[in-house]
A and B are shown apart, each in its own frame.
Chain A
Amino acid sequence: MGSSASQLTKELLSEYQELTFLTKQEILLAHCRFKELLPKESRNTMDYRVPMEKILTMPELKSNPFRQRICYVFSTSEAKDGSLSFEDFLDFLSVFSDSATPEIKSHYAFRIFDFDDDGTLDRNDLVKLVNCLTGDAPETRLSQEEMNQLIGNILEESDIDKDGTVNLSEFQHVISRSPDFVSSFKIVL
């Protein structure tokens, strides 16, 4: 879907409203912010894919420990380089919006936490997850012993089929019991 105009047409706007959880104002704001990320010469086409480095300069993502994972998960580029088109960008905002359902959110949370993209959360994924949560510098990481204990406890609680990994349904089952998750899995421009 290409558009050579730098303004969103009414048809496109209503189409985006139907396909995502975003409201009209949110889509227009997203459009504005996306245009700012485009280099000057490409401001008139919306086909352009913004490279990951540029996306990560946004204040909402700049310090987020999961920023690279977010870009990789929502990117639809064949090169798997984390670059986002405008529609990828809208997808991202839609999942993190106020009106997205808890199922969608937990699905994407699983994908973001799945650092090696193999469809399950294995031990390495969980280690990387905990490091992101506590800060990845040597003085902020948990000690090796603490990490092993923590991962062991997580796997014990959530791994129902005992295969050493957490799959999507086990993850969603856990998340559904957590009251804080939906309200904290939000990014608003």
Chain B
Amino acid sequence: MTSWQQRKGKYKLQSASYFRFLRFLVFLNLMSFFLIGCFVLIPNVTIRSLKLTTTSNSSVKNDTECTYYNPTPTGLVNFFNYVLDILSGTGMLEFSYLFYGFYESGEVDLVKKISYNIPVSYLVTCLCYMLFCIIWIVLSNDVFLHYFCSLVFSAWDFRLKSEKFIKLKQKTIRYEFQMELEEAEAHRAALHRTMSDNARLYGYRVALNLVVIACITGAFYCIYLATQESQRLQSETSFLLGLLIEYLPSVVITAANFIVPMICDFVMRFEAYTLSMQIKVILFRAVFLRFASLGVLLFSLWAQITCGGDVTATDCKACEYNYGHNYTMLSLIVSLHVMYKLMIFDLLTITLVTLLVEFPRRMLVDFCSWKLVKLWGYQQFLVPQNILQLIYGQTVVWIGVFFCPLLPLLNTIKFILIFYCKKLTLFRNCRPAEKTFRSARSNFFFRIILLIGLFVSCVPLGYSVAKIQPSKGCGPFRSLSRIWDVIPNSVAELPITTQQFLYFLGSQAFAVPLFLLCCHFMLYLINCVVF
């Protein structure tokens, strides 16, 4: 039996949860794309190709400064420009269905009295998409009320034939059982620690946590600086330098997400947590870092877009489509460019790391006979960190989806590529992690983090829908002062009884108990699994 086949056997046991999670995300994105496709994309494509006229409620000056930019360049265009366009989401991609700005505003009269209101459908579809994601994640859960039972009763794989695999499987099962029991023992030991021991230990932990917080704050400051610089220097004409500057926030975020966990790992050695507590703390810090860095990025963008909330600042007055300088129409496009770039950069990082780090490392370990190299060994496939990367990618998509409706489709393709890439690297270049993460309970834990990501990405969405003034020259909401206004406007056109019903649904008498009920349900689910 070759060592490759042996490793393959051990992998299937550990990394199955990663690939299951990845498949779940691919499905989620695909379903979301169908939803968006049906209600936003296809109607808009038909309207545009049939050249149906749209009637809008308020008049928008046609001779505004926000004229469309002609995306088809004149003269010779080389392939390199197309590649750059795809990488940075500008140029020909900008005036495609990919971005919000391309969608019409106003209503289209279909048959007699029925008309299709584009802005309403856009907003409502987006909200439904978020709701759909929440429901899908919550409902497709395997709630583990019977953790130990599932562990023991479905532990055995009857497909295993060779004695070597069977012994390996028995060893893994024994290790899993012992880990569970070690947990219980550690809890009991923690209860019996003396006062002075406890005090010393907690002292250490506080100090080390301060170190970690300092690192994370440093990372945030770098991200903030990078975003500011990137926006400021965007008018660079040199293509390659310009591209680099555009990708600066993504680079800094990825670097932070790489370096800070390494520091945390180092710090972890002195903190004396039990094995599973260690894993939870590592994950908590990593999750916090990823989501908060996205938050910092959004905050710095907002500061730029709204000139720090000051509407009268010179930069924010005009609405001119001259990308690089003015910020109202561009504002939204800029923010979605960043999400698009984060997504692409994530994909590039994963593929390049596989090609340039993992394959060479394996080559080195296989062919070089130095002891130090052999000790270093193959890359470990750490399931939790890899899953976190997937959740991060999905959160980026959720943040950007309102202004970039086709992002779920791109994300589906991206995840499929990652699937095959990781499968390849798993069997060729990696070895099993030394500390296995309990895959049964962890599945639910990762779904919870995914839900948290979803809620985190609803915050900027809610803010932009309710507060920010949409750009005047493009997009479905160009004639309104707030995106949300489209809903009250169309509700006012419905018959009276329906209006009253909807007002009731939105009133405090109904919404507050509903919200409390949902919170209660969520807490119940979490409670069942954690305890």
Q: Which of A163-189 contact B (CB under 8 A)?
A: 171, 173-175, 177-181, 184-188
Pairwise interchain contact B149-A184, C-beta atoms closer than 8 A: no
Determine which of B20, B159, B170 lies in contact with A134 in the assembled complex, contact meaning CB atoms within 8 Å. Answer: B170
Per the bound structure, the CA–CA distance linking A142 and B182 in Å amounts to 12
Q: Is A153 in contact with chain B by the CB < 8 A criterion?
A: yes
Given that A63-B161, A174-B149 are contacting pairs, would A134 and B142 also be in contact in the complex, using a CB cutoff of 8 Å? no
Q: Is B210 in contact with chain A by the CB < 8 A criterion?
A: no
Given that A133-B170, A140-B174 are contacting pairs, would A174 and B142 also be in contact in the complex, using a CB cutoff of 8 Å? no
Pairwise interchain contact A185-B181, C-beta atoms closer than 8 A: no
Pairwise interchain contact A184-B158, C-beta atoms closer than 8 A: yes
Q: Is B166 in contact with chain A by the CB < 8 A criterion?
A: yes
Given that A65-B156, A146-B178 are contacting pairs, would A158 and B161 also be in contact in the complex, using a CB cutoff of 8 Å? no
Pairwise interchain contact B152-A133, C-beta atoms closer than 8 A: yes
Q: Is B154 in contact with chain A by the CB < 8 A criterion?
A: yes
Q: Is B167 in contact with chain A by the CB < 8 A criterion?
A: yes
For B178, list chain A residues within 8 Å (CB). Answer: 142, 146
Q: Give the bracket for the number of chain A residues in contact with chain B.
A: 35 or more
Q: Which of B178-200 contact A (CB under 8 A)?
A: 178, 180-181, 184
Distance to closest chain B CB from A156 (angstroms): 8
In the complex, the number of residue pairs spanning A and B with C-beta atoms less than 8 Å apart equals: 104
For B173, list chain A residues within 8 Å (CB). Answer: 133-134
Q: Is B150 in contact with chain A by the CB < 8 A criterion?
A: yes
Pairwise interchain contact B174-A150, C-beta atoms closer than 8 A: no
Per the bound structure, the CA–CA distance linking A111 and B158 in Å amounts to 15
Pairwise interchain contact A154-B174, C-beta atoms closer than 8 A: no
Determine which of B143, B148, B167, B181 lies in contact with A157 in the assembled complex, contact meaning CB atoms within 8 Å. Answer: B148
For A130, list chain B residues within 8 Å (CB). Answer: 152, 177
Given that A63-B161, A186-B159 are contacting pairs, would A129 and B152 also be in contact in the complex, using a CB cutoff of 8 Å? yes
Chain A 89-111 per-residue mask, 1 if CB under 8 angstroms from chain B, else 0:
00000001000000000000100
Determine which of B154, B160, B171 lies in contact with A180 in the assembled complex, contact meaning CB atoms within 8 Å. Answer: B154
On A, residues with C-beta under 8 Å from B are 59-60, 62-66, 96, 109, 113, 126, 129-130, 132-135, 140, 142, 146, 149-150, 153-154, 157-158, 171, 173-175, 177-181, 184-188
10 extra A-B contacts, CB within 8 A, seeds A146-B181, A187-B158: A63-B161, A66-B156, A96-B158, A126-B152, A135-B167, A146-B178, A175-B150, A178-B153, A178-B154, A186-B159
Report 28 cross-chain contacts, Cβ distance below 8 Å, ordered by A residue.
Answer: A62-B163, A63-B162, A65-B166, A66-B156, A66-B158, A96-B158, A113-B153, A130-B177, A132-B156, A133-B170, A133-B174, A134-B170, A134-B173, A135-B167, A135-B171, A135-B174, A146-B178, A150-B152, A150-B177, A153-B148, A157-B145, A171-B153, A174-B146, A177-B145, A177-B146, A178-B142, A178-B150, A178-B154
